[in-house]
Structure 1
Amino acid sequence: MKKLLSRIVIRLPLILWAIAVIYPILWMFIGAFKSNAEIYANPWGLPHVFNFQNFSQAWNDYNIDTSVFNSLIVTVVGALLTLIMAIPTAYALERIVFKGNRFLFTLYISAMMIPTVLGWIPLFFLLMQLNLLDNIFGLSIVYAVSQLPFSIFVLTSFMGTIPKALEESAAMDGLSPYGVLWKIITPLSMTGIITVTIMNAIQFWNEYFMALIFLQSEENYTLALAIDYISNEAEYTNAWGTLFASLAIAIIPVIVLYAIFQRRISKGMTEGAIKG
Protein backbone atom coordinates (compact mmCIF):
# COMPACT_ATOMS: atom_id res chain seq x y z
CA MET A 1 0.00 0.00 0.00
CA LYS A 2 2.81 2.38 0.86
CA LYS A 3 4.55 1.63 -2.45
CA LEU A 4 1.32 2.29 -4.38
CA LEU A 5 0.78 5.54 -2.52
CA SER A 6 4.35 6.67 -3.16
CA ARG A 7 3.99 5.90 -6.87
CA ILE A 8 0.79 7.94 -7.04
CA VAL A 9 2.43 10.86 -5.24
CA ILE A 10 5.39 10.77 -7.65
CA ARG A 11 3.46 10.19 -10.88
CA LEU A 12 0.42 12.41 -10.33
CA PRO A 13 2.32 15.71 -10.74
CA LEU A 14 4.02 14.29 -13.84
CA ILE A 15 0.67 13.25 -15.32
CA LEU A 16 -0.84 16.66 -14.60
CA TRP A 17 2.17 18.36 -16.15
CA ALA A 18 1.94 16.15 -19.25
CA ILE A 19 -1.75 17.03 -19.65
CA ALA A 20 -1.00 20.74 -19.24
CA VAL A 21 1.63 20.52 -22.01
CA ILE A 22 -0.11 18.15 -24.43
CA TYR A 23 -3.64 19.56 -24.30
CA PRO A 24 -2.84 22.98 -25.86
CA ILE A 25 -0.95 21.22 -28.66
CA LEU A 26 -3.91 18.94 -29.35
CA TRP A 27 -6.25 21.94 -29.24
CA MET A 28 -4.04 23.69 -31.79
CA PHE A 29 -4.08 20.70 -34.16
CA ILE A 30 -7.87 20.37 -33.82
CA GLY A 31 -8.32 24.10 -34.52
CA ALA A 32 -6.21 23.78 -37.66
CA PHE A 33 -8.96 21.63 -39.22
CA LYS A 34 -11.86 23.89 -38.24
CA SER A 35 -13.52 26.72 -40.08
CA ASN A 36 -13.68 30.11 -38.37
CA ALA A 37 -17.39 29.57 -37.68
CA GLU A 38 -16.66 26.31 -35.86
CA ILE A 39 -13.85 27.89 -33.87
CA TYR A 40 -16.17 30.65 -32.60
CA ALA A 41 -19.17 28.34 -32.08
CA ASN A 42 -17.34 25.52 -30.30
CA PRO A 43 -13.66 26.34 -29.68
CA TRP A 44 -13.05 23.24 -27.55
CA GLY A 45 -14.94 20.69 -29.62
CA LEU A 46 -13.95 18.47 -32.52
CA PRO A 47 -14.56 19.67 -36.09
CA HIS A 48 -17.60 18.26 -37.88
CA VAL A 49 -15.49 17.74 -41.00
CA PHE A 50 -11.69 17.75 -41.07
CA ASN A 51 -10.95 20.58 -43.51
CA PHE A 52 -7.48 21.09 -45.04
CA GLN A 53 -8.33 24.51 -46.45
CA ASN A 54 -6.54 26.28 -43.59
CA PHE A 55 -3.29 24.52 -44.47
CA SER A 56 -3.69 25.43 -48.14
CA GLN A 57 -4.41 29.06 -47.28
CA ALA A 58 -1.43 29.30 -44.95
CA TRP A 59 0.86 27.65 -47.49
CA ASN A 60 -0.19 29.73 -50.49
CA ASP A 61 -1.78 33.00 -49.33
CA TYR A 62 0.61 33.73 -46.46
CA ASN A 63 3.79 32.38 -48.12
CA ILE A 64 4.45 29.76 -45.46
CA ASP A 65 6.15 27.71 -48.17
CA THR A 66 8.85 30.36 -48.59
CA SER A 67 9.25 30.73 -44.84
CA VAL A 68 9.64 26.97 -44.38
CA PHE A 69 12.34 26.96 -47.06
CA ASN A 70 14.15 29.88 -45.38
CA SER A 71 13.97 28.21 -41.97
CA LEU A 72 15.27 24.99 -43.47
CA ILE A 73 18.28 26.77 -44.99
CA VAL A 74 19.03 28.66 -41.78
CA THR A 75 18.74 25.49 -39.70
CA VAL A 76 20.88 23.28 -41.94
CA VAL A 77 23.56 25.90 -42.65
CA GLY A 78 23.69 27.01 -39.00
CA ALA A 79 23.98 23.43 -37.72
CA LEU A 80 26.74 22.58 -40.21
CA LEU A 81 28.70 25.74 -39.45
CA THR A 82 28.45 24.99 -35.73
CA LEU A 83 29.90 21.52 -36.24
CA ILE A 84 32.68 22.78 -38.53
CA MET A 85 33.79 25.23 -35.84
CA ALA A 86 32.99 23.21 -32.71
CA ILE A 87 34.58 19.83 -33.55
CA PRO A 88 38.18 21.09 -34.17
CA THR A 89 37.92 23.57 -31.29
CA ALA A 90 36.72 20.93 -28.85
CA TYR A 91 39.48 18.56 -29.98
CA ALA A 92 42.16 21.24 -29.56
CA LEU A 93 40.93 22.25 -26.11
CA GLU A 94 40.61 18.66 -24.90
CA ARG A 95 43.62 16.93 -26.49
CA ILE A 96 46.29 19.50 -27.32
CA VAL A 97 48.30 20.89 -24.42
CA PHE A 98 49.27 24.52 -24.91
CA LYS A 99 49.66 27.62 -22.77
CA GLY A 100 46.28 29.07 -21.86
CA ASN A 101 44.38 25.89 -22.71
CA ARG A 102 42.27 25.80 -19.56
CA PHE A 103 41.73 29.55 -19.61
CA LEU A 104 40.45 29.41 -23.18
CA PHE A 105 38.14 26.52 -22.34
CA THR A 106 36.79 28.40 -19.32
CA LEU A 107 36.27 31.47 -21.51
CA TYR A 108 34.20 29.46 -23.97
CA ILE A 109 32.10 27.89 -21.24
CA SER A 110 31.56 31.20 -19.45
CA ALA A 111 30.12 32.56 -22.68
CA MET A 112 27.14 30.25 -22.06
CA MET A 113 26.25 32.43 -19.06
CA ILE A 114 26.18 35.69 -21.02
CA PRO A 115 22.65 36.64 -22.23
CA THR A 116 22.61 36.73 -26.03
CA VAL A 117 20.46 39.85 -25.93
CA LEU A 118 23.58 41.84 -24.97
CA GLY A 119 25.10 41.17 -28.40
CA TRP A 120 22.12 41.96 -30.61
CA ILE A 121 22.85 45.65 -31.16
CA PRO A 122 26.60 45.19 -31.93
CA LEU A 123 25.74 42.25 -34.20
CA PHE A 124 23.19 44.39 -36.03
CA PHE A 125 25.81 47.00 -36.95
CA LEU A 126 28.43 44.33 -37.69
CA LEU A 127 26.12 42.55 -40.14
CA MET A 128 25.26 45.90 -41.69
CA GLN A 129 28.95 46.65 -42.31
CA LEU A 130 29.47 43.18 -43.80
CA ASN A 131 26.38 43.53 -46.03
CA LEU A 132 24.87 40.50 -44.33
CA LEU A 133 21.91 42.28 -42.76
CA ASP A 134 18.56 40.96 -44.01
CA ASN A 135 20.37 37.88 -45.28
CA ILE A 136 19.49 34.34 -44.18
CA PHE A 137 23.11 33.23 -44.50
CA GLY A 138 24.18 36.07 -42.23
CA LEU A 139 21.56 34.90 -39.75
CA SER A 140 22.94 31.35 -40.06
CA ILE A 141 26.40 32.59 -39.06
CA VAL A 142 24.98 34.37 -36.02
CA TYR A 143 23.09 31.25 -35.00
CA ALA A 144 26.19 29.08 -35.38
CA VAL A 145 28.35 31.37 -33.25
CA SER A 146 25.65 31.68 -30.58
CA GLN A 147 25.56 27.89 -30.07
CA LEU A 148 29.31 27.38 -30.23
CA PRO A 149 29.97 27.40 -26.44
CA PHE A 150 27.25 24.80 -25.78
CA SER A 151 28.47 22.60 -28.61
CA ILE A 152 32.09 22.75 -27.44
CA PHE A 153 31.02 21.95 -23.87
CA VAL A 154 29.18 18.79 -24.95
CA LEU A 155 31.78 17.59 -27.46
CA THR A 156 34.75 17.96 -25.10
CA SER A 157 32.96 15.64 -22.67
CA PHE A 158 32.85 12.89 -25.30
CA MET A 159 36.32 13.44 -26.72
CA GLY A 160 37.85 13.34 -23.25
CA THR A 161 36.84 9.70 -22.81
CA ILE A 162 38.45 8.41 -26.00
CA PRO A 163 41.70 6.54 -25.15
CA LYS A 164 44.78 8.44 -26.24
CA ALA A 165 46.34 5.14 -27.26
CA LEU A 166 44.12 5.17 -30.35
CA GLU A 167 45.55 8.52 -31.42
CA GLU A 168 49.11 7.39 -30.73
CA SER A 169 48.61 4.22 -32.78
CA ALA A 170 47.11 6.20 -35.66
CA ALA A 171 50.00 8.69 -35.53
CA MET A 172 52.53 5.83 -35.61
CA ASP A 173 50.77 4.52 -38.73
CA GLY A 174 51.43 7.86 -40.41
CA LEU A 175 48.06 9.55 -39.88
CA SER A 176 48.30 13.35 -39.63
CA PRO A 177 46.70 15.27 -36.72
CA TYR A 178 43.84 16.26 -39.04
CA GLY A 179 43.45 12.63 -40.05
CA VAL A 180 43.31 11.60 -36.41
CA LEU A 181 40.62 14.20 -35.77
CA TRP A 182 38.35 13.34 -38.70
CA LYS A 183 38.99 9.59 -38.99
CA ILE A 184 39.40 8.55 -35.35
CA ILE A 185 38.00 11.13 -32.93
CA THR A 186 34.98 12.30 -34.94
CA PRO A 187 33.47 8.82 -35.58
CA LEU A 188 33.95 7.83 -31.94
CA SER A 189 32.24 11.06 -30.83
CA MET A 190 29.26 10.54 -33.12
CA THR A 191 26.75 10.24 -30.26
CA GLY A 192 27.73 13.66 -28.97
CA ILE A 193 27.78 15.13 -32.48
CA ILE A 194 24.26 13.87 -33.20
CA THR A 195 23.02 15.22 -29.86
CA VAL A 196 24.54 18.65 -30.48
CA THR A 197 23.23 18.77 -34.04
CA ILE A 198 19.65 17.96 -33.09
CA MET A 199 19.58 20.34 -30.13
CA ASN A 200 21.00 23.14 -32.27
CA ALA A 201 18.65 22.41 -35.17
CA ILE A 202 15.60 22.64 -32.91
CA GLN A 203 16.93 25.90 -31.45
CA PHE A 204 17.52 27.41 -34.90
CA TRP A 205 14.16 26.27 -36.25
CA ASN A 206 12.21 27.86 -33.38
CA GLU A 207 14.31 31.02 -32.89
CA TYR A 208 12.38 34.29 -33.21
CA PHE A 209 14.05 37.35 -31.71
CA MET A 210 17.31 37.40 -33.67
CA ALA A 211 15.41 36.68 -36.88
CA LEU A 212 13.11 39.61 -36.07
CA ILE A 213 16.10 41.94 -35.61
CA PHE A 214 18.33 40.81 -38.47
CA LEU A 215 15.72 40.05 -41.16
CA GLN A 216 13.63 42.84 -42.67
CA SER A 217 12.21 41.64 -46.00
CA GLU A 218 9.14 39.41 -46.07
CA GLU A 219 10.73 37.16 -48.68
CA ASN A 220 13.51 36.39 -46.15
CA TYR A 221 11.19 35.71 -43.22
CA THR A 222 11.75 32.51 -41.30
CA LEU A 223 8.81 30.44 -40.13
CA ALA A 224 8.66 32.11 -36.72
CA LEU A 225 8.36 35.57 -38.31
CA ALA A 226 5.74 34.36 -40.79
CA ILE A 227 3.63 32.95 -37.95
CA ASP A 228 3.95 36.23 -36.07
CA TYR A 229 2.71 38.05 -39.17
CA ILE A 230 -0.27 35.70 -39.49
CA SER A 231 -1.01 36.15 -35.78
CA ASN A 232 -1.20 39.92 -36.23
CA GLU A 233 -3.37 39.51 -39.32
CA ALA A 234 -5.71 37.11 -37.51
CA GLU A 235 -6.79 39.89 -35.16
CA TYR A 236 -8.31 41.79 -38.09
CA THR A 237 -9.18 39.05 -40.61
CA ASN A 238 -10.30 36.32 -38.17
CA ALA A 239 -7.89 33.87 -39.82
CA TRP A 240 -7.57 31.80 -36.65
CA GLY A 241 -7.80 28.50 -38.47
CA THR A 242 -4.98 29.59 -40.76
CA LEU A 243 -2.92 30.58 -37.73
CA PHE A 244 -3.45 27.17 -36.11
CA ALA A 245 -2.52 25.48 -39.40
CA SER A 246 0.70 27.47 -39.68
CA LEU A 247 1.58 26.58 -36.08
CA ALA A 248 0.96 22.92 -36.87
CA ILE A 249 3.23 23.16 -39.92
CA ALA A 250 5.95 24.65 -37.71
CA ILE A 251 5.71 22.12 -34.91
CA ILE A 252 5.36 18.90 -36.92
CA PRO A 253 9.04 18.74 -38.06
CA VAL A 254 10.23 19.31 -34.48
CA ILE A 255 7.97 16.58 -33.11
CA VAL A 256 9.02 14.13 -35.83
CA LEU A 257 12.73 14.91 -35.39
CA TYR A 258 12.57 14.53 -31.63
CA ALA A 259 10.49 11.35 -31.87
CA ILE A 260 13.06 9.75 -34.18
CA PHE A 261 16.14 10.77 -32.20
CA GLN A 262 14.70 10.94 -28.67
CA ARG A 263 16.75 7.99 -27.44
CA ARG A 264 19.88 9.36 -29.06
CA ILE A 265 19.35 12.75 -27.41
CA SER A 266 18.70 11.26 -23.97
CA LYS A 267 21.66 8.90 -24.31
CA GLY A 268 23.94 11.67 -25.55
CA MET A 269 23.07 14.12 -22.78
CA THR A 270 23.36 11.42 -20.11
CA GLU A 271 26.68 10.06 -21.39
CA GLY A 272 28.05 13.56 -21.79
CA ALA A 273 27.13 14.44 -18.23
CA ILE A 274 28.62 11.25 -16.79
CA LYS A 275 31.77 11.29 -18.90
CA GLY A 276 32.36 14.98 -18.34
Structure 2
Amino acid sequence: MKRSVGEILGRAGIRIPLILWTIAVLYPILWMFLGSFKSNAEIYRNPWGLPETFNFQNYADAWNNYNISTSVFNSLIVTIVGAVLTLVLAIPTAYAIERIRFRGSNFLFTLYVSAMMIPMVLGWIPLFFLLMDLGMLDNIFGLAIVYAISQLPFTIFVLTSFIGTIPKSLEESAAIDGLTPYGVLWKIITPLSTSGIITVTIMNSIQFWNEYFMALIFLQSSENYTLALAIDYISSEAQYTNAWGTLFASLVIAIVPVIILYAIFQRRIAQGMTEGAIKG
Protein backbone atom coordinates (compact mmCIF):
# COMPACT_ATOMS: atom_id res chain seq x y z
CA MET A 1 0.00 0.00 0.00
CA LYS A 2 1.38 3.34 -1.00
CA ARG A 3 1.89 5.87 1.71
CA SER A 4 0.12 9.18 1.45
CA VAL A 5 2.03 12.44 1.09
CA GLY A 6 0.85 13.52 4.53
CA GLU A 7 2.17 10.35 6.15
CA ILE A 8 5.56 10.73 4.45
CA LEU A 9 5.80 14.37 5.51
CA GLY A 10 4.75 13.46 9.03
CA ARG A 11 7.47 10.82 9.33
CA ALA A 12 10.04 13.18 7.82
CA GLY A 13 9.00 15.89 10.25
CA ILE A 14 9.79 13.55 13.12
CA ARG A 15 12.93 11.91 11.79
CA ILE A 16 14.77 14.91 10.34
CA PRO A 17 14.94 16.82 13.66
CA LEU A 18 16.05 13.62 15.40
CA ILE A 19 18.80 13.04 12.82
CA LEU A 20 19.99 16.65 13.12
CA TRP A 21 19.98 16.39 16.92
CA THR A 22 21.96 13.14 16.75
CA ILE A 23 24.58 14.78 14.53
CA ALA A 24 24.77 17.79 16.85
CA VAL A 25 25.39 15.49 19.82
CA LEU A 26 27.78 13.03 18.19
CA TYR A 27 29.97 15.46 16.26
CA PRO A 28 31.61 17.12 19.31
CA ILE A 29 32.29 13.68 20.77
CA LEU A 30 33.87 12.52 17.50
CA TRP A 31 35.90 15.76 17.27
CA MET A 32 37.15 15.25 20.84
CA PHE A 33 38.03 11.62 20.11
CA LEU A 34 40.02 12.52 17.00
CA GLY A 35 41.69 15.41 18.81
CA SER A 36 42.94 13.04 21.49
CA PHE A 37 45.25 11.46 18.88
CA LYS A 38 46.70 14.73 17.59
CA SER A 39 49.75 16.66 18.71
CA ASN A 40 49.30 20.23 19.89
CA ALA A 41 50.73 21.57 16.64
CA GLU A 42 48.34 19.45 14.60
CA ILE A 43 45.37 20.59 16.69
CA TYR A 44 46.17 24.23 15.90
CA ARG A 45 47.04 23.52 12.27
CA ASN A 46 44.10 21.29 11.40
CA PRO A 47 41.57 21.29 14.26
CA TRP A 48 38.67 19.84 12.26
CA GLY A 49 40.50 17.26 10.16
CA LEU A 50 41.53 13.68 10.74
CA PRO A 51 44.79 13.02 12.61
CA GLU A 52 47.79 12.41 10.39
CA THR A 53 48.80 9.48 12.62
CA PHE A 54 46.98 7.96 15.57
CA ASN A 55 49.37 8.89 18.36
CA PHE A 56 48.65 7.49 21.83
CA GLN A 57 51.15 9.76 23.56
CA ASN A 58 48.37 12.02 24.83
CA TYR A 59 46.80 9.09 26.68
CA ALA A 60 50.17 8.15 28.18
CA ASP A 61 50.72 11.75 29.32
CA ALA A 62 47.27 11.98 30.87
CA TRP A 63 47.63 8.62 32.59
CA ASN A 64 51.12 9.17 33.96
CA ASN A 65 52.00 12.88 34.05
CA TYR A 66 48.60 14.15 35.19
CA ASN A 67 47.80 11.27 37.55
CA ILE A 68 44.61 10.27 35.76
CA SER A 69 45.20 6.66 36.82
CA THR A 70 44.75 7.58 40.50
CA SER A 71 41.69 9.70 39.72
CA VAL A 72 40.08 6.85 37.78
CA PHE A 73 40.64 4.54 40.75
CA ASN A 74 39.16 7.13 43.13
CA SER A 75 36.12 7.58 40.90
CA LEU A 76 35.62 3.82 40.72
CA ILE A 77 35.74 3.53 44.51
CA VAL A 78 33.35 6.43 45.04
CA THR A 79 30.95 5.15 42.36
CA ILE A 80 30.89 1.53 43.53
CA VAL A 81 30.67 2.31 47.26
CA GLY A 82 28.04 5.00 46.67
CA ALA A 83 25.90 2.80 44.41
CA VAL A 84 26.05 -0.22 46.75
CA LEU A 85 25.35 1.86 49.85
CA THR A 86 22.39 3.49 48.12
CA LEU A 87 20.87 0.08 47.39
CA VAL A 88 21.53 -1.25 50.90
CA LEU A 89 19.65 1.71 52.36
CA ALA A 90 16.96 2.11 49.70
CA ILE A 91 15.74 -1.47 49.18
CA PRO A 92 14.60 -2.11 52.80
CA THR A 93 13.18 1.41 53.05
CA ALA A 94 11.17 1.09 49.83
CA TYR A 95 9.88 -2.32 50.95
CA ALA A 96 8.84 -1.01 54.35
CA ILE A 97 7.04 1.99 52.88
CA GLU A 98 5.23 0.00 50.22
CA ARG A 99 4.39 -3.24 52.03
CA ILE A 100 4.54 -2.65 55.78
CA ARG A 101 1.77 -0.20 56.48
CA PHE A 102 2.49 1.73 59.66
CA ARG A 103 1.49 5.06 61.08
CA GLY A 104 3.28 7.74 59.12
CA SER A 105 4.30 5.55 56.16
CA ASN A 106 2.48 7.79 53.67
CA PHE A 107 4.03 10.87 55.27
CA LEU A 108 7.48 9.27 55.08
CA PHE A 109 7.02 8.49 51.39
CA THR A 110 5.83 12.04 50.74
CA LEU A 111 8.86 13.32 52.61
CA TYR A 112 11.21 11.33 50.39
CA VAL A 113 9.44 12.49 47.24
CA SER A 114 9.56 16.10 48.46
CA ALA A 115 13.29 15.74 49.09
CA MET A 116 13.76 15.18 45.36
CA MET A 117 12.59 18.74 44.80
CA ILE A 118 15.12 20.32 47.19
CA PRO A 119 18.31 21.51 45.45
CA MET A 120 21.32 19.64 46.78
CA VAL A 121 23.28 22.89 46.82
CA LEU A 122 21.37 23.96 49.93
CA GLY A 123 23.04 21.20 51.92
CA TRP A 124 26.63 21.64 50.79
CA ILE A 125 27.72 24.03 53.55
CA PRO A 126 26.14 22.02 56.43
CA LEU A 127 27.58 18.83 54.95
CA PHE A 128 31.02 20.42 54.75
CA PHE A 129 31.04 21.18 58.47
CA LEU A 130 29.45 17.81 59.32
CA LEU A 131 32.13 15.89 57.43
CA MET A 132 34.80 18.07 59.03
CA ASP A 133 33.46 17.30 62.52
CA LEU A 134 33.36 13.58 61.71
CA GLY A 135 36.90 13.63 60.33
CA MET A 136 35.68 12.54 56.88
CA LEU A 137 36.48 15.70 54.97
CA ASP A 138 38.88 15.11 52.07
CA ASN A 139 37.97 11.42 52.19
CA ILE A 140 36.61 9.53 49.18
CA PHE A 141 34.52 7.26 51.43
CA GLY A 142 32.97 10.32 53.06
CA LEU A 143 32.17 11.60 49.57
CA ALA A 144 30.64 8.21 48.68
CA ILE A 145 28.35 8.43 51.73
CA VAL A 146 27.23 11.91 50.68
CA TYR A 147 26.54 10.63 47.16
CA ALA A 148 24.50 7.72 48.49
CA ILE A 149 22.39 9.93 50.73
CA SER A 150 21.82 12.43 47.93
CA GLN A 151 20.34 9.73 45.66
CA LEU A 152 18.23 7.99 48.30
CA PRO A 153 14.96 9.86 47.57
CA PHE A 154 15.12 9.10 43.84
CA THR A 155 16.10 5.47 44.39
CA ILE A 156 13.38 4.87 46.99
CA PHE A 157 10.79 6.49 44.74
CA VAL A 158 11.66 4.23 41.79
CA LEU A 159 11.98 1.01 43.82
CA THR A 160 8.70 1.66 45.62
CA SER A 161 6.96 1.68 42.24
CA PHE A 162 8.57 -1.64 41.32
CA ILE A 163 7.71 -3.32 44.61
CA GLY A 164 4.13 -2.15 44.18
CA THR A 165 3.85 -4.26 40.99
CA ILE A 166 4.74 -7.51 42.80
CA PRO A 167 1.66 -9.53 43.86
CA LYS A 168 1.25 -9.76 47.62
CA SER A 169 0.21 -13.40 47.26
CA LEU A 170 3.85 -14.32 46.61
CA GLU A 171 4.86 -12.83 49.96
CA GLU A 172 1.98 -14.55 51.73
CA SER A 173 2.95 -17.91 50.25
CA ALA A 174 6.58 -17.39 51.26
CA ALA A 175 5.52 -16.45 54.79
CA ILE A 176 3.40 -19.61 55.04
CA ASP A 177 6.48 -21.61 53.99
CA GLY A 178 8.35 -20.13 56.95
CA LEU A 179 10.27 -17.22 55.47
CA THR A 180 10.89 -14.31 57.80
CA PRO A 181 10.17 -10.73 56.63
CA TYR A 182 13.88 -10.33 55.90
CA GLY A 183 13.82 -13.58 53.94
CA VAL A 184 10.84 -12.37 51.93
CA LEU A 185 12.66 -9.12 51.22
CA TRP A 186 15.95 -10.60 50.03
CA LYS A 187 14.71 -13.86 48.47
CA ILE A 188 11.42 -12.80 46.92
CA ILE A 189 11.15 -9.04 46.55
CA THR A 190 14.72 -8.24 45.58
CA PRO A 191 15.04 -10.83 42.75
CA LEU A 192 11.68 -9.76 41.32
CA SER A 193 12.79 -6.12 41.36
CA THR A 194 15.97 -6.78 39.37
CA SER A 195 14.98 -4.48 36.50
CA GLY A 196 14.36 -1.59 38.86
CA ILE A 197 17.55 -2.24 40.80
CA ILE A 198 19.62 -2.32 37.61
CA THR A 199 17.94 0.86 36.38
CA VAL A 200 18.63 2.93 39.51
CA THR A 201 22.12 1.46 39.88
CA ILE A 202 23.15 2.49 36.36
CA MET A 203 21.60 5.93 36.68
CA ASN A 204 23.17 6.51 40.10
CA SER A 205 26.55 5.23 38.94
CA ILE A 206 26.58 7.62 35.98
CA GLN A 207 25.63 10.45 38.32
CA PHE A 208 28.41 9.58 40.78
CA TRP A 209 31.01 9.10 38.04
CA ASN A 210 30.33 12.49 36.48
CA GLU A 211 29.66 14.53 39.64
CA TYR A 212 31.89 17.57 40.05
CA PHE A 213 30.68 20.19 42.52
CA MET A 214 30.45 18.10 45.70
CA ALA A 215 33.81 16.51 44.91
CA LEU A 216 35.26 20.00 44.48
CA ILE A 217 33.91 21.08 47.88
CA PHE A 218 34.60 17.95 49.95
CA LEU A 219 37.94 16.84 48.46
CA GLN A 220 41.05 18.95 48.91
CA SER A 221 44.11 16.74 48.27
CA SER A 222 45.15 16.02 44.70
CA GLU A 223 45.70 12.34 45.55
CA ASN A 224 41.99 12.08 46.43
CA TYR A 225 40.74 13.82 43.28
CA THR A 226 38.02 12.10 41.32
CA LEU A 227 38.16 12.04 37.54
CA ALA A 228 36.03 15.17 37.18
CA LEU A 229 38.43 17.18 39.35
CA ALA A 230 41.49 15.82 37.55
CA ILE A 231 40.02 16.84 34.19
CA ASP A 232 39.27 20.30 35.55
CA TYR A 233 42.90 20.58 36.65
CA ILE A 234 44.15 19.50 33.21
CA SER A 235 41.77 22.02 31.61
CA SER A 236 43.23 24.87 33.66
CA GLU A 237 46.76 23.69 32.88
CA ALA A 238 46.02 23.41 29.16
CA GLN A 239 45.48 27.16 28.94
CA TYR A 240 49.15 27.73 29.83
CA THR A 241 50.87 24.55 28.60
CA ASN A 242 48.79 23.95 25.44
CA ALA A 243 48.11 20.38 26.57
CA TRP A 244 44.89 20.22 24.58
CA GLY A 245 45.56 16.73 23.25
CA THR A 246 46.08 15.49 26.80
CA LEU A 247 42.82 17.17 27.84
CA PHE A 248 40.94 15.48 25.00
CA ALA A 249 42.48 12.13 25.95
CA SER A 250 41.40 12.52 29.58
CA LEU A 251 37.87 13.40 28.47
CA VAL A 252 37.75 10.27 26.32
CA ILE A 253 38.90 8.21 29.30
CA ALA A 254 36.07 9.72 31.33
CA ILE A 255 33.20 9.27 28.88
CA VAL A 256 34.02 5.90 27.28
CA PRO A 257 33.06 3.82 30.38
CA VAL A 258 29.75 5.71 30.62
CA ILE A 259 28.96 5.13 26.95
CA ILE A 260 29.84 1.43 27.18
CA LEU A 261 27.80 1.00 30.37
CA TYR A 262 24.77 2.70 28.90
CA ALA A 263 25.07 0.81 25.61
CA ILE A 264 25.14 -2.55 27.42
CA PHE A 265 22.20 -1.81 29.72
CA GLN A 266 20.18 0.50 27.47
CA ARG A 267 17.31 -1.94 27.01
CA ARG A 268 17.27 -2.89 30.66
CA ILE A 269 17.07 0.76 31.66
CA ALA A 270 14.21 1.44 29.24
CA GLN A 271 12.47 -1.76 30.38
CA GLY A 272 12.95 -0.84 34.01
CA MET A 273 11.55 2.68 33.63
CA THR A 274 8.55 1.30 31.72
CA GLU A 275 7.79 -1.49 34.19
CA GLY A 276 7.99 0.81 37.18
CA ALA A 277 5.98 3.62 35.66
CA ILE A 278 2.59 2.27 36.73
CA LYS A 279 1.87 0.36 39.90
CA GLY A 280 -0.03 -2.87 39.57
TM-score (norm 2): 0.98
| Cα offset, 1:235, TM superposition | 0.1
Q: Deviations over 1:99-157 (max 9, x none)?
A: 01100000001000000000000000000000000000000000000000000010001
1:29 is matched with which residue: 28, 33, 48?
33
Aligned length: 276
**SS at structure 2 position matched to 1:273:** coil
Question: 2:9 matched to 1:8?
Answer: no
1:259-270 equivalent positions in 2, closer than 5 A: 259-270=263-274
Identity %: 81
Give the aligned partner of residue 120 of structure 1.
124
**Does 2:191 correspond to 1:192?**
no
Alignment of 1:164 with 2:146, yes or no, is no
Alignment match of 1:255 (pick from 230, 241, 259): 259
Q: Residue 64 of structure 1 aligns with which residue?
A: 68
After TM superposition, the structure 1 = structure 2 runs for residues 38-187 of structure 1, keeping only pairs within 5 Å, are: 38-187=42-191
In 2: Cα distance, 1:235 partner to 1:211 partner: 22
**Paired residue type of 2:141:** F
Distance 2:10 2:173 in 1: 53
Deviation at 1:16, TM superposition (A): 1.1
Paired amino acid for 1:21: V
Mapped partners of 2:278, 2:57: distance in 1:
49
Match for residue 233 of structure 1 among 230, 237, 241: 237
**How far did residue 15 of structure 1 move?**
1.0
Cα distance in 2 for partners of 1:186, 1:139 equals 27
**Deviation at residue 2 of structure 1 after TM alignment:** 1.4
Distance 1:195 1:236 in 2: 42
Question: In 1, distance between residues paired with 2:264 and 2:14?
Answer: 28
Q: Which residue of structure 1 aligns with residue 212 of structure 2?
A: 208
Unaligned 5+ segments in structure 1 are none
Question: Aligned partner of 2:49: which letter?
Answer: G
Q: Distance in 2 between matches of 1:195 and 1:102?
A: 24
> Which letter maps to 1:175?
L
Post-superposition shift, 1:275? Answer: 3.1
- How far does the alpha carbon of each residue in 1:65-116 deviate from its partner, in whole angstroms, 9 at most, with x for none? 0000000000000000000000000000000010011000000010000000
The runs of 4+ residues in structure 1 deviating greater than 2 Å are none
SS at match of 1:147: helix
Q: 3-state DSSP class of the match of 1:51?
A: coil
TM-score (norm 1): 0.99
